[in-house]
Structure 1
Amino acid sequence: MCYQTHEIEWQGIRICVRYAPVKWNVISHIEIKVIEPARAPLPITSTGYLSHHIPIGSVEAEFDNVVDCILSWLDARAQSAEWREHVEKSAQGELF
């Protein structure tokens, strides 16, 4: 099993993406971990870490590479009401 490792930045958050196109000969695996700020939430994980299994070929069928896939996924989920509320609260700070 061979992982591709990529470091990306999304909205000021540095993220490490590890991708195994074929794991155990039956599935693909994506691992996402926020590097900085450490453990910062993302629209796809509140803990800054995500391990995600998908059918083999899913990424390649829709995207040129795993980075484009992750950026698209983050952008799409960032449109949710929950994420927009999180961003708004983070920008103004919480008093309580």
Structure 2
Amino acid sequence: MAKETHRFTWQGIEIEVTYTPLKWDMIDHLEIRSINPERAPLPITMTGYCSHYEQPGIIETFGADVVEQVIAWLDAEAAKPEWKAHLERSRQYSLF
């Protein structure tokens, strides 16, 4: 399979996902980055970039829709208290 690149918007953040099946002929690789705003924190990475490895075939097992699976991952992580606290802190101005 060839490398795939996808762009989508999640909660107002434009995201690019690159999926490389069988990178180095042994493992599947996802690169996820926020591109607009650039390097915006995401629930899976505070730097706006995530390199993630999966066992071969996992993406295909769950429907082969990379964007759908990344959105599900983002949604699941966004539901956690840590992300909700981050959002609350980023809404408030701090003098310190």
Both proteins in one fold, TM over 0.5: yes
Matches within 5 A, 1:39-58: 39-58=39-58
Runs (4+) off by over 6 Å: none
Q: In the alignment, residue 4 of structure 1 is paired with which amino acid?
A: E
Q: Which moved more, 1:73-82 or 1:18-27?
A: 18-27
> Compared with structure 1, are the counterparts of its residues 89 and 3 closer, same or farther at alpha carbon in structure 2 (3 Å cutoff)?
same
The alpha-carbon deviation at position 88 of structure 1 amounts to 1.2
| Cross-structure match for 1:2 | 2
Residues 1:60 and 2:60 aligned together: yes
Cross-structure match for 1:23: 23
Q: 1:76 aligns to what? A: 76
Deviation of the 1:93 alpha carbon: 3.2
Map of 2:92 onto structure 1: 92
- How many residue pairs are counted as aligned between the two chains? 96
Matched residues in 2 for 1:38 and 1:81: separation? 24
Give the TM-score normalised by the residue count of structure 1. Answer: 0.92
Give distance in 2, aligned partners of 1:7 and 1:57: 22
Structure 2 unaligned segments of length 5 or more: list them. none
CA distance in 1, matches of 2:16, 2:93: 26
CA distance in 1, matches of 2:75, 2:94: 25
Letter in 1 for 2:72: S
**CA offset at residue 67 of structure 1?**
0.4
Alpha-carbon RMSD across the aligned residues, in angstroms, is 1.4
Partner deviation per Cα, 1:54-93 (whole Å, 9 max, x = no partner): 1011111123411011000000000111100011122233
